[in-house]
C-alpha cells in the first residue's frame, strides 16, 4: 500500500520495494534486502511478520537507514514474549543507529511530498477519492485507528491536512517527538493529538512549549480520564494512564487545549485553521431567533465569555432597521431578516462596527437550505468578512455540506449547532489566554536553601513530617513530643488553654479513625488522656510503633485549607491547593499545577478554586492571608521538584489560614518506595 499510494500521489523520491521473492513489485524493481539497495535510503517501511521484524531492522541498520516505520504488530501490546521481542528490536535499532516509529504503528504520511507510509484504507473511500485536501492541520495519534478516524472526520468537514503520524507502541519515537517535529514543520499550523498516556512529563512539556513558541495550537484528546477508561487504556497499549488531574495541569500550564470527544476535536481543529483568535473574552451574538439568542447567551455565560451590550448608537441604528428588534446583545434581528438578506447583513455589520466584539456568533437557522436567498446571503456576508479580517466570525447554520464549504472558504467558521459555535469561540479565547499565561509566568519562584531537614526516606511519622515543613520554611503549629503522661501534662500547661493530642506513629495512617487524635483537651486532663490514647491506639494497632503523642495548642478560627504535592513517575512533580478538612473528599475542589511555581502562579491557583469565596473576606468574614498560602505552596513546589526522586506525596491537611499568617496543623510525607 505505501508503494501504491506514494506512486499515486506523485512522490518524487526513489521507491525501493524489498521482497526476496520477487524481481518486480508494482512495476518497480524489487530488492532482496534493504542493505542490497546500495544507495542512501531515508526511511524503511517494515511490514513483515513479527518473527522477521527484528531481522528487518537489522537489515535497515546494515543499510544505514536512519528511520524505520514498523507496521508489524504482535509485540508489547499482546504478550510478555512480545514485549521482550520489542526490547530486542529496540536494542538492535539503537546499536545500528536506526530510529523506530512503532512497532504496531499505522505509519505516517506527508500529503505535500506524497510520502505515504501508511496502510490505512481511508484513501479508498469514495471510489478512491478519499484523500483529504492539502492543508495546515497535522495529526499525531498514539492509536492508528483513532488517527484514521480523526483523518476521515477532518476530511468530511473539509479541513485540509499536512502530515499524519501514528506512534503505536512508541518503543522509540513517541508523541513528544512528533509534537516537537510538527512544532517546527513549515506546513503545519495546527496540531491535533490523540494520547493515551505520557511517559515523560518534562519532554512532553518541552514539546508543547516548542509548539507554543511557534504559535501553533495543540489540540489534545486523551483517553483514560476515568477509572474505567484508564483500565481500558491499560489493556489497549499497556500504557499506564496518567492521573487525569495531573495531565490536565500539565496541558494547561503549557498552553495545549483539551478536547473531550472526537467531534469536539474536529470542531476545534476547524476553528483553529483560519488562525484568528479573539483579543478578549467578549462575544457578540446575532440571531434570527430571540430564543436561540438566549440559548447562545446561556452557552457563552456558562463558558465564561462576556456578552457586552451594544452601545446606544448601534441600538439606534438597528431599531431604525427593525423597530421591534432586540438590539442589546444578544441581538435578535427578528422575522423580517429571515426573508431579507440585505437587512440581515446590515445587522451583522452594525454589530461588528458598533459593538467592537472581537468575536461574533451569528445564528442563521435553516437559511442554508433556502435556495432563492443563499447566494445573496453568502455574497453579503463575504463582503463583511473582508471588512473585518481580524474578528472571529462564526456562523451557526443548517445547510447542505457543499454550502457549508463555500462559507468556510469565505473565511467563516461554520457549525450546525449554535452552542457548538459559541463553544468554539470560547475555546479560541482559552487558547489565546493560555498563550498569554505561558508568556507571563513570573520569576517569583522562592529560592530555597539546601534542604537540611530529616532524611526524607524516614519522614513517615508526623514529628518528622513537621520537621520537613519547618526545614522548607512552611509555618507549623508549635508542638511538643510527649513520651509519657507527665510530659504531656507539662506541655499542655506550658501552652496554656486547651490543647490537641495526636499520636505519633509511622504505622497509623488514619489517626482519627483509630482514636489517635483528641482536640480541645484541658491541661488538667492531658495526662489521663495521654494514657487513654496510647492504650486505645495500641489496642487498635497492636503491631504499630508508637513514638509518643504530640501536644499542640488549639488554633482558633481561620479556614482549613489543603496543600499537597504528588510526584508521578512519568509526569513529574505537582502541587495542589484546596479547601481542606472533611470537605476535600466531598467536593474534590483542588487546583493542580506542575512544580515548581512562583508565588504569582500560586495566587492564581488559590483564586481558581470554587471555594475561594471562603478566603476572600466576603459576607463579613475576615479575608484570609493569601500571601501566606501562596508562599507555602511555592515553597512546597520547589521542594518537591528538587526531591522528586525521593518523594511520592506530601499532604498538609489542614493548613489553617488566618487573617494574618497560616499554620500547618498536620502533615503526612510519603517517601518513594525503593
Residues 483-502 binding its own copies (CB under 8 A) are none
Shortest separation between residue 146's beta carbon and its own copies, angstroms: 4
**Interface with its own copies, residue 580, by CB under 8 A:** no
**Interface with its own copies, residue 225, by CB under 8 A:** yes
Cell 488566618 locates to 658
Between residue 411 and residue 440, which ones bind its own copies under the rule CB under 8 A? Answer: 416-420
CA 170 centroid distance within chain: 20
**Interface with its own copies, residue 298, by CB under 8 A:** yes
Report the residue number, 126 or 452, with the smaller CB distance to its own copies.
126
**Interface with its own copies, residue 292, by CB under 8 A:** yes
Of 610, 595, 599, 519, the closest CA to residue 564 belongs to 595
Between residue 95 and residue 134, which ones bind its own copies under the rule CB under 8 A? Answer: 121-122, 124-127, 130
Between residue 329 and residue 388, which ones bind its own copies under the rule CB under 8 A? Answer: 330, 332, 335, 338-339, 365-366, 369-371
Backbone angles phi, psi at 370, to 5 degrees: -90, 100
Report the residue number, 62 or 153, with the smaller CB distance to its own copies.
153
| Choices 11-19, 200-208, 225-233, 469-477; region in contact with its own copies by CB under 8 A | 225-233
CA 46 centroid distance within chain: 33
| Cβ-based neighbour number of residue 132 at 10 Å | 22
**Interface with its own copies, residue 167, by CB under 8 A:** no
What x/- string results for residues 76 through 95 when contact with its own copies is judged by CB under 8 A? -xxx----------------
**Interface with its own copies, residue 245, by CB under 8 A:** no
Q: 332-341: long-range contacts at Cβ-Cβ below 8 A with a sequence spacing of 24 or more?
A: 332/287, 332/288, 332/289, 332/290, 332/293, 333/286, 333/287, 333/288, 334/288, 334/290, 335/288, 337/288, 338/288, 338/365, 338/367, 339/373, 341/373, 341/376, 341/377, 341/380
Spatial separation of the C-alpha atoms in residues 631 and 600, rounded to whole Å:
9
Structural element, H or E, at residue 380: helix 371-387
Q: Which residues contact 283 (CB under 8 A, 6 or more apart)?
A: 300, 305, 306, 307, 357, 359, 360, 361, 422, 425
Q: How far is CA 476 from CA 387, 467, 559, 653, in A?
A: 61, 9, 15, 11
Shortest separation between residue 585's beta carbon and its own copies, angstroms: 5
Spatial separation of the C-alpha atoms in residues 4 and 205, rounded to whole Å:
38
Single residue of 6, 138, 237, 637 touching its own copies by CB under 8 A: 237
Shortest separation between residue 161's beta carbon and its own copies, angstroms: 15
**Interface with its own copies, residue 536, by CB under 8 A:** no
Between residue 178 and residue 197, which ones bind its own copies under the rule CB under 8 A? Answer: 194, 196
Between residue 40 and residue 79, which ones bind its own copies under the rule CB under 8 A? Answer: 73-74, 77-79
Between residue 560 and residue 579, which ones bind its own copies under the rule CB under 8 A? Answer: 579
What x/- string results for residues 458 through 487 when contact with its own copies is judged by CB under 8 A? ------------------------------
**Interface with its own copies, residue 610, by CB under 8 A:** yes
Question: Residue 23: is it exposed, middle or buried by C-beta count within 10 angstroms (0-12/13-18/19+)?
Answer: exposed
| Cβ-based neighbour number of residue 43 at 10 Å | 17
Shortest separation between residue 514's beta carbon and its own copies, angstroms: 8
Between residue 137 and residue 166, which ones bind its own copies under the rule CB under 8 A? Answer: 141-143, 145-146, 148-149, 152-153, 156
Single residue of 21, 27, 39, 261 touching its own copies by CB under 8 A: 261
Report the residue number, 139 or 288, with the smaller CB distance to its own copies.
288
DSSP H helical ranges for 273-366: 290-302, 312-321, 336-339, 341-355
Packing angle between helix 201-213 and helix 418-439, nearest 10 degrees? 100
Shortest separation between residue 600's beta carbon and its own copies, angstroms: 23
Q: Roughly how many angstroms between the first and final C-alpha of the chain, as a whole number?
A: 49
Q: How many chain residues touch its own copies (CB under 8 A)? A: 98
Shortest separation between residue 22's beta carbon and its own copies, angstroms: 23
**Interface with its own copies, residue 608, by CB under 8 A:** no
Amino acid at each position: 500500500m505505501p508503494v501504491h499510494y506514494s506512486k499515486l500521489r506523485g512522490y518524487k523520491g526513489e521507491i525501493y520495494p524489498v521482497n526476496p521473492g520477487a524481481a518486480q513489485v508494482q512495476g518497480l524493481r524489487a530488492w532482496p534486502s534493504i542493505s542490497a539497495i546500495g544507495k542512501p535510503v531515508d526511511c524503511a517501511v517494515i511490514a513483515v511478520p513479527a518473527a522477521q521484524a527484528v531481522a528487518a531492522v537489522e537489515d535497515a541498520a546494515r543499510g544505514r537507514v536512519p528511520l524505520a516505520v514498523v507496521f508489524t504488530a504482535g509485540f508489547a501490546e499482546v504478550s510478555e514474549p512480545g514485549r521482550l521481542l520489542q526490547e530486542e528490536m529496540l536494542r538492535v535499532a539503537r546499536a545500528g543507529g536506526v530510529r523506530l516509529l512503532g512497532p504496531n504503528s499505522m505509519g505516517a504520511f506527508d500529503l505535500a511530498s506524497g510520502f505515504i507510509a501508511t496502510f490505512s484504507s481511508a484513501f479508498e473511500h469514495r471510489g478512491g477519492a478519499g484523500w483529504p485536501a492539502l492543508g495546515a492541520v497535522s495529526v499525531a495519534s498514539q492509536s492508528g485507528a483513532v488517527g484514521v478516524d480523526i483523518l476521515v472526520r477532518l476530511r468530511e468537514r473539509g479541513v485540509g491536512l499536512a502530515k499524519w503520524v501514528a506512534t503505536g507502541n512508541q518503543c522509540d519515537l513517541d508523541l513528544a517527538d512528533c509534537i516537537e517535529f510538527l512544532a517546527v514543520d513549515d506546513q503545519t499550523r495546527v496540531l491535533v493529538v490523540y494520547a493515551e498516556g505520557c511517559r515523560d512529563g518534562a519532554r512532553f512539556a518541552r514539546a508543547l512549549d516548542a509548539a507554543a513558541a511557534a504559535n501553533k495550537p495543540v489540540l489534545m484528546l486523551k483517553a483514560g480520564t476515568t477509572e474505567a477508561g484508564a483500565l481500558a487504556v491499560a489493556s489497549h497499549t499497556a500504557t499506564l494512564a496518567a492521573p487525569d488531574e495531573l495531565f490536565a495541569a500539565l496541558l494547561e500550564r503549557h498552553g495545549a487545549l483539551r478536547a473531550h470527544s472526537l467531534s469536539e476535536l474536529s470542531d476545534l481543529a476547524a476553528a483553529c485553521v483560519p488562525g484568528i483568535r479573539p483579543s478578549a473574552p467578549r462575544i457578540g451574538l446575532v440571531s434570527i431567533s430571540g430564543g436561540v439568542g438566549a440559548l447562545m447567551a446561556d452557552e457563552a455565560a456558562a463558558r465564561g465569555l462576556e456578552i457586552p451590550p451594544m452601545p446606544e448608537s448601534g441600538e439606534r441604528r438597528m431599531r431604525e432597521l427593525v423597530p421591534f428588534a432586540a438590539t442589546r446583545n444578544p441581538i435578535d434581528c427578528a422575522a423580517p431578516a429571515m426573508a431579507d438578506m440585505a437587512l440581515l447583513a446590515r445587522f451583522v455589520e452594525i454589530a461588528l462596527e458598533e459593538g467592537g466584539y472581537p468575536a461574533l456568533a451569528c445564528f442563521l437557522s435553516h437559511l442554508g437550505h433556502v435556495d432563492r436567498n443563499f447566494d445573496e446571503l453568502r455574497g453579503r456576508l463575504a463582503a463583511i468578512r473582508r471588512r473585518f479580517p481580524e474578528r472571529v466570525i462564526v456562523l451557526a447554520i443548517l445547510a447542505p455540506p457543499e454550502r457549508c464549504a463555500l462559507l468556510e472558504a469565505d473565511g467563516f467558521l461554520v457549525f450546525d449547532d449554535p452552542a457548538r459555535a459559541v463553544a468554539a469561540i470560547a475555546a479560541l479565547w482559552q487558547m489565546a489566554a493560555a498563550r498569554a499565561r505561558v508568556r507571563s509566568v513570573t520569576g517569583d519562584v522562592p529560592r530555597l536553601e539546601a534542604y537540611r531537614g530529616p532524611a526524607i526516606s524516614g519522614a513517615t511519622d508526623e514529628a518528622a513530617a513537621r520537621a520537613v515543613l519547618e526545614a522548607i520554611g512552611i509555618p507549623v503549629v508549635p508542638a511538643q513530643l510527649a513520651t509519657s503522661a507527665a510530659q504531656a501534662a507539662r506541655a499542655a500547661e506550658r501552652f496554656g488553654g486547651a490543647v490537641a493530642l495526636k499520636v505519633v506513629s509511622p504505622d497509623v495512617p488514619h489517626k482519627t479513625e483509630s482514636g489517635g487524635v483528641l482536640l480541645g483537651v484541658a491541661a488538667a486532663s492531658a495526662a489521663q488522656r495521654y494514657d487513654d490514647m496510647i492504650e486505645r491506639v495500641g489496642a487498635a494497632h497492636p503491631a504499630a510503633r508508637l513514638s509518643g503523642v504530640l501536644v499542640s495548642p488549639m488554633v482558633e478560627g481561620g479556614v482549613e485549607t489543603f496543600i499537597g504535592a504528588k510526584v508521578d513517575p512519568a509526569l513529574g512533580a505537582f502541587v495542589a491547593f484546596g479547601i481542606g478538612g472533611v470537605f476535600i473528599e466531598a467536593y474534590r475542589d483542588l487546583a493542580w499545577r506542575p512544580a515548581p511555581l512562583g508565588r504569582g502562579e500560586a495566587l492564581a491557583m488559590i483564586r481558581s478554586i470554587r471555594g475561594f469565596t471562603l478566603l476572600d473576606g466576603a459576607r463579613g468574614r475576615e479575608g484570609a492571608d493569601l500571601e501566606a498560602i501562596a508562599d507555602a505552596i511555592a515553597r512546597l513546589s520547589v521542594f518537591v521538584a528538587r526531591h522528586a526522586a525521593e518523594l511520592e506525596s506530601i499532604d498538609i491537611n489542614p493548613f489553617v489560614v488566618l487573617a494574618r499568617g497560616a499554620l500547618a496543623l498536620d502533615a503526612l510525607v510519603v517517601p518513594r518506595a525503593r
